[in-house]
Amino acid sequence: MVQSVKNFKMGNYVDIGAFTYINAKFYVIVEDNVEIGSHCSIYSYSSIDNKKGPVVLKKNCKIGTHSVVMPNVTIGENSTVAAFSFVNKNVPSNVIVAGIPAKIIKKLPKSKIKS
């Protein structure tokens, strides 16, 4: 489900799993070849703490099932967010993050980086 669909931009070859909620009130941009697992929540606005700002999912990134991405966050190219993670800060390119809150657990070797 996408709320505020006029502020939602999606690239090519994007896969969004079932039961995922995207709040695009302050823009959500999903670039090419992004995979979003089922039961994820992506927020450009959080009414609980009044945070707001765009969410950008850069090309080739992956968001694991049941993960939450908060407002004003960019997930870098080729990066992976592990399942059940809570992302409240920017994620650089070419890393794997996991946890609550999400932290870098591994940098991708050059052989695993898509260009």
Are the CB atoms for 69 and 63 separated by under 8 Å? yes
Q: How does pLDDT run along the chain (115 residues), one tens digit per residue?
A: 999 999 999 999 999 999 999 999 999 999 999 999 999 999 999 998 999 999 999 999 999 999 999 999 999 999 999 999 999 999 999 999 999 999 999 999 887 777 6
The three state secondary structure string of 84-103 is CCEECCCECCCEEEECCCCE
- Confidence at residue 3, expressed as pLDDT on a 0 to 100 scale: 94
- Confidence at residue 115, expressed as pLDDT on a 0 to 100 scale: 66
For residues 85 and 63, what is the distance between their CA atoms, to the nearest angstrom? Answer: 9
Are the CB atoms for 69 and 85 separated by under 8 Å? no
Laid out side by side, the sheet with 86-87 consists of: 2-3, 21-23, 41-43, 68-69, 86-87
- Confidence at residue 30, expressed as pLDDT on a 0 to 100 scale: 98
**Which pair of tokens denotes residue 113?**
């980086």
CATH fold of 2-109, please? UDP N-Acetylglucosamine Acyltransferase; domain 1 (2.160.10)
Query: Would you report the helix, strand and coil content of the chain in percent, each value rounded to 5?
Result: 5, 40, 55
For residues 115 and 98, what is the distance between their CA atoms, to the nearest angstrom? Answer: 23
